[in-house]
Amino acid sequence: MRIKSNIPVYESIAMDVAERIAAGEISVGEKISGRTILSSQYNVSPETIRKAMGLLAQADVVAVSQGKEVIVLSREEAGEFLQHHQSMHSTYSLKQELELLMQRKNEINERLDDVLDQIIRYTDRLRNLQPFNPVEITIPEQASAVGRSVAQLGLWQRTGATLIAIRRGTDIIISPGSGATLQAGDRMVVVGSGNILTKVTELINE
């Protein structure tokens, strides 16, 4: 039996039987072994077999009589059953992978945030030893810089500051470039000589 480990056992059994019907291993009109024999073949309980046959019966692949006799009805419906369930599980697998990737992305963003915080803390300690010190400036909602790019703002030309990162919510944009558009609430991380904090603050609120 071709067990699919990521789905319930009874559904895996139903898909295995449907595959055999679609492949012609089991013919239309043929009687499938009773629950007791099937349960021993698949090494599961009769109740699991009942649920598996119930799925196939709902899809008109087989008919289950009151005497628990199972008769194959349609090879075409078996194929449709397989396509439907394979699509469902492919979508589920992709969703699981997406959730895992999003989790990893959030973990990476958090790590980047921590690293940037550490860089800022360490450079603060060396403020008197280095000519260029990173500073972080938050863009207010009503600031004139909102909606403008770094190039339009003339950041470097007018202040001598270099933008090394933008902290936007939980994301960190490293080396955003002159085309980056600034948004309200963005925290600009810039480096420069002299009173760079005052210069950039005046520029974005100009």
Q: Which fold would CATH assign to domain 126-204?
A: Alpha-Beta Plaits (3.30.70)
CA angle 121, 122, 128 (to 5 degrees): 105
193 pLDDT tier (thresholds 50, 70, 90): confident
Distance of CA 110 to the CA centre of its chain: 16
What is the identity of the amino acid at 113? D
Can you give the pTM of this predicted structure?
A: 0.41
Domain covering 9-84 in this structure, CATH number = 1.10.10.10
Give the bridge partners for 188, in sequence order: 137, 166
175 pLDDT tier (thresholds 50, 70, 90): confident
Q: What is the pLDDT of residue 188?
A: 93
130 touches 123 (CB < 8 A)? yes
The ranges assigned to domains in the chain are 9-84, 126-204
Fold agreement (9-84, 126-204): no
Report pLDDT digits (tens) over 55-103. Answer: 899 999 999 887 678 889 999 999 888 888 777 776 667 777 788 888 8
- For residue 34, the 8-state DSSP code is P
Q: What is the pLDDT of residue 101?
A: 83
Asked whether residue 52 carries a pLDDT value surpassing 70, the answer given is: yes
Q: For residues 166-175, give the mean pLDDT.
A: 89
Q: What is the pLDDT of residue 180?
A: 92
Report pLDDT digits (tens) over 108-151. Answer: 888 888 888 777 776 666 555 455 668 899 999 999 999 999 99
Q: For residues 34-52, give the mean pLDDT.
A: 81
Alpha-carbon span 63 to 56, nearest angstrom: 8
